[in-house]
Amino acid sequence: MSGHIVPVKIYVAVFFSLLILTGLTTFAAYIDMGMTHIGHFTIDWNTVVALAIAVTKMLLVVLFFMHVKYSPGLTRLVVVAGFFWLAIMVALTLSDELTRGWEGHPKAWSTLLPFLHF
């Protein structure tokens, strides 16, 4: 009658995992993990690790503290849709922003360049 009751044990385990991950992400920031260049992209491994830990922490909070692991399918759908819409915004914006320099300007513009003030 009162929904799924999550044992206190699980809350405490999630709590300590979150604290450990916070320590880990802080510690990881002081290690230079370097960068990898692939084509036009640069992967900054420190940022990748920091975001991976943040996503893990978010999943722990969402699944256990926010009870999504025990929620009906409709609620889960809304949760996933919320993040999916965010992903659409980020992906489409970056597909523009990160690729602008790839092609340079059209050749025909070269004749105009001396007259253009950027």
Partner 1 sequence: MSEHSAQMVHGHSPALVHQFETEDQQREAGSLGMWLFLATEVMFFGGVFMAYIVYRALHLPDFIQGSHMLDVKFGAANTAVLICSSLTMALAIHAAQTGKSKSTIITYLILTMILGAAFLGIKFTFEWTSDWREGLVPGFHFTYGGPYASGVQLFFCFYFFMTGLHALHMITGLGLLTTLTVMASRGRFRAEYFAPLENSGLYWHFVDIVWIFLFPLLYLIGGRFGGGH
Minimal distance in Å, beta carbon 117 to partner 1? Answer: 20
Q: How many residues touch partner 1 (CB under 8 A)?
A: 53
Strand partners, 41: 38
The answer to the question of residue 99 lying near partner 1 (CB under 8 A) is: no
CA 93 centroid distance within chain: 14
Q: Which amino acid is at 115?
A: F
**Could you give the 3-state DSSP secondary structure of residue 35?**
strand
Binding positions for partner 1, 30-69, rule CB under 8 A: 30-33, 44, 46-47, 50-51, 53-54, 57-58, 61-62, 64-67
- 64: number of Cβ within 10 Å: 19
Looking at 36, 43, 69, 86, which residue binds partner 1 (CB under 8 A)? 86
Phi and psi, residue 74, nearest 5°: -65, -40
Alpha carbons 105 and 116: distance in angstroms, whole number = 13
C-alpha to C-alpha distance for 40 and 105, rounded to whole angstroms:
16
112 binds partner 1 (CB under 8 A): no
Enumerate binding residues for partner 1 (CB under 8 A). 1-3, 5-6, 8, 11-12, 14-15, 18-19, 22-23, 25-26, 29-33, 44, 46-47, 50-51, 53-54, 57-58, 61-62, 64-67, 71-72, 74-75, 78-79, 81-83, 85-86, 89-90, 93-94, 97-98
